[in-house]
Structure 1
Amino acid sequence: MKITRITSHVLSCDMPELLGYSQQYYAKRSAHLVEVQTNEGVTGWGECFGPGNVALANKSIVEKVIQPLIAGDNPMNRDAIWHKVYNLLRDHGQKGMPLQALSGVDIALWDIAGKITGQPIYNLLGGAHRNSVGVYGYGMMLRPESVTELAARFVDEAAEIREAGFAATKMKIGLGPREDAKLAAAVRKGVGEDFDFMADANHAYTTSDAFYVGRALDELGAYWFEEPVAPEDHAGYSELRRSLKINIAGGEAEFNRWGWKALLESRGLDIAQPEVCALGGITEYQRVLSLCHAHFTPVVNHVWGSAIAVAANLQLLAAMPPLPGGLFPREPWLEFDTTENRFRDELLSVPLNIQNQVKTNAGRVAIPDGPGLGVTPDREVIEHYKIC
């Protein structure tokens, strides 16, 4: 079997309302799917992290740089292909967009391997530790509104997410320390005292401002404080972890085993959040997961994107051993965007229906058990939303 063609499908659509986080507001949703075809008719699907113009740039890397390097290779040689591409691109970027592009290709190769062997990816990774996983719903996105307006909306939205059956919820912050404290108090009011909520700053703060927000979150009993400072600021992460009660989470902006080695050795994370569609795909994710567990750092994957990204993460969460183990371990969660996402809810020929599963299955969703990713994209949907 040989790889014959690699195609990027960049999708885009208007969102029903302007949403944002600490770095920007956005009015469009996008997704970057990767399709790897073979001479025996087996096709694999993957996804590259990165929205908007980043997806357009990554399309060029996938099709113009990576495809010529591996055309004709056996798609089952995933590790050899990974190192071949990484080594030849190393001089041009050990992080960022080259790794995002490689991630989508690598995930597609794992999908092919599962289809060839008739096995779900979790079996190729060693077997399932669970056949379903808890789901937390993130929402409470920022809008260009006053803090008073945002806080009122956050109370209602947080309550709705809990009522929908999710196991926990996550909010966006990053307006400013005092403003964020008010927004976090609103979320706590909305979910009540006996429900986990988390806050994601998307690296908005200096260490001193992050301490102010972190202490407010401590008082509210929040479960984790995500990306409080710049991802490069390992020392800032470590200071916050030593001094705050709240769990410090991060890592979605880190790449490959070498970047993760440095991050974990800095001892700045209570919870690691690798992004499989960015750090190097499933092949490299497995190495990062081993590093996290070697440092006794629990993993809750970062999940953003289409149904392909969700399916890939469900496979990984099924195969993830509990840390530290025992009769009553704290199990990993699936991250789920509760805002409108057509590329998740409409993309597949057989939808995952996560919202319905969460509501009827005590906040949990089943792991797809079909070959590979266990899902099949609808080509008509891809063509409808494809911009290039």
Structure 2
Amino acid sequence: MKITEIQSHILQYDLPEELGYSQQYYAQRTAHLVEVSTDEGITGWGECFGPGPIAVANKGIVEGVIAPMIVGMDPIERDVIWHKVYNLMRDHGQKGMPMQSLSGVDIALWDIAGKFMGQPIYNLLGGAHRRCVPAYGYGMMLKRESLADHVARFADEASAILGMGFKATKMKTGLGPIADIQLCKTVAKAVEGKGLFMVDANHCYTTSDAFYVGRALDEMGAYWFEEPVAPEDLSGYRELRAGLKTNISGGEAEFGRWGWRNILENRGLDIAQPEVCALGGITEYQRVLALCHAHFTPVINHVWGSAIAVATNLHLLAAMPPLPGGLNPWEPMLEFDTTHNSFRDDLLTEPLNIQDQVANNRGRVNIPNGPGLGVEPDRDFIKAFKFL
């Protein structure tokens, strides 16, 4: 079997309302799908992390840089392909967009391998430790509105997300430390006795401001404080983890085993959040997961994107060994964006229906069990939403 073609499909639509987080507001939803074709008629699908203009740049890397390197190769040789591409791009970027682009291609190769062997990806990874996973819902995005409006909306959204059946909920911060603490208090009160809540700062604080917010979160019982400081600030992460009771999480902006080695040896994370569609795909994710477990750091994957990204992560969560083991081991959760996302809900010929599963299955989501990813995009949908 040989790879015959690699195509990028960038999809985009206008959101019903503008959303924001600590770094920016955005009004469009973007997804970057990668399609790898073979001479045996087997097609694989992957996804590259990165919205808007980042997706456009990544398309150029996928089709203009990576494709010429690997067309004609055997797609089953995923590790050979991974290292060939990485080594040839190494001088031009061991992180960032080159790795995001490689991720989408690599995921598609795993999809091909599963289809070729008639096995779901979790079996190629060694089998399923669990057939379903709990899910948490995030929402409570920032908007161009007053603090009072944020407070009222966050209280309603937090209650609504737990009311959907999710085991926990996650909010955004980024209005400033004093206002953010007020928002967190609102959410903590709304979920009290009903479920966990987490706080995602998207690296908007200095270390001192992160301590100011984090000490307040300690008193509220937040489950984790996500990306409190810049991903480059390894010393800040280590200081925060040592000085706060709330779990410190992060890692979505790190790439490859070498970057993750630095994070883990630094001992700055209570919970690791690798992003498979960015760090190098499933091939590299497995190495990062092994490093996390070697450092006894539990993993809850970062999940953002279309139904391809969600399906990929469900396989990874199924195949993730318990850490530590036992009769009632700690369990990873599926991250689920509760905001409007047609690329997740409507892309597939047979939708995953995550929200229905959560509502009807005690907050849990089943793992797809078909060959490869176990899902197939609707080509008519892709044509309707194709941006580039």
**CA deviations over 1:209-243 (Å, ceiling 9, x no partner):** 00011011111100000000000000000000001
> In percent, how many aligned pairs have the same letter?
73
2:65 equivalent to 1:65: yes
How far apart are the structure 1 equivalents of 2:350 and 2:135?
20
Tell me which amino acid in the other structure corresponds to 1:49.
F
How far apart are the structure 2 equivalents of 1:179 and 1:333?
29
How far apart are the structure 2 equivalents of 1:39 and 1:248?
47
**CA deviations over 1:118-148 (Å, ceiling 9, x no partner):** 0000000000000000000000000011111
How far apart are the structure 1 equivalents of 2:274 and 2:175?
25
Other structure's SS at 2:107 match: helix
Conserved in 1, the CA contact under 8 Å of 2:348 and 2:378?
A: yes
- Counterpart of 2:144 in structure 1 is 144
Larger displacement relative to structure 2 (206-215 or 321-330):
321-330
- Counterpart of 1:297 in structure 2 is 297
Shift of 1:329: 1.3
2:10 equivalent to 1:10: yes
Tell me which amino acid in the other structure corresponds to 2:198.
M
Tell me which amino acid in the other structure corresponds to 2:103.
S
Q: TM-score, normalised by structure 1?
A: 1.00
Tell me which amino acid in the other structure corresponds to 2:318.
A
**CA deviations over 1:272-292 (Å, ceiling 9, x no partner):** 000000000000000000000
Q: TM-score, normalised by structure 2?
A: 1.00
- Counterpart of 1:128 in structure 2 is 128
Conserved in 1, the CA contact under 8 Å of 2:202 and 2:227?
A: yes
How far apart are the structure 2 equivalents of 1:192 and 1:383?
45
Provide runs of 4+ in structure 1 moved above 6 Å.
Answer: none
- Counterpart of 2:356 in structure 1 is 356
How far apart are the structure 1 equivalents of 2:5 and 2:270?
41
How far apart are the structure 2 equivalents of 1:387 and 1:148?
37
2:83 equivalent to 1:99: no
Tell me which amino acid in the other structure corresponds to 1:368.
P
Please list every run of 5 or more consecutive structure 2 residues that lacks an aligned counterpart in the other structure.
none
- Counterpart of 2:383 in structure 1 is 383
Tell me which amino acid in the other structure corresponds to 2:231.
P
Conserved in 1, the CA contact under 8 Å of 2:162 and 2:194?
A: no
Shift of 1:192: 1.9
Conserved in 2, the CA contact under 8 Å of 1:4 and 1:37?
A: yes
How far apart are the structure 2 equivalents of 1:290 and 1:270?
16
**CA deviations over 1:289-340 (Å, ceiling 9, x no partner):** 0000000000000000000000000000000011111111120000000001
Shift of 1:194: 4.4
Conserved in 2, the CA contact under 8 Å of 1:305 and 1:344?
A: yes
How far apart are the structure 1 equivalents of 2:292 and 2:189?
34
Equivalent runs, 1:70-85 vs 2, <5 Å: 70-85=70-85
How far apart are the structure 2 equivalents of 1:146 and 1:292?
40
Tell me which amino acid in the other structure corresponds to 1:380.
D
2:314 equivalent to 1:314: yes
How far apart are the structure 2 equivalents of 1:357 and 1:58?
33
Equivalent runs, 1:1-388 vs 2, <5 Å: 1-388=1-388
How far apart are the structure 2 equivalents of 1:99 and 1:213?
33
How far apart are the structure 2 equivalents of 1:94 and 1:147?
40
How far apart are the structure 2 equivalents of 1:50 and 1:26?
13
CA RMSD of aligned residues (A): 0.5
How far apart are the structure 2 equivalents of 1:131 and 1:216?
37
Please list every run of 5 or more consecutive structure 1 residues that lacks an aligned counterpart in the other structure.
none
**CA deviations over 1:94-120 (Å, ceiling 9, x no partner):** 000000000000000000000000000
Aligned length: 388
Conserved in 2, the CA contact under 8 Å of 1:157 and 1:190?
A: no
Conserved in 1, the CA contact under 8 Å of 2:136 and 2:335?
A: yes
Other structure's SS at 2:334 match: strand
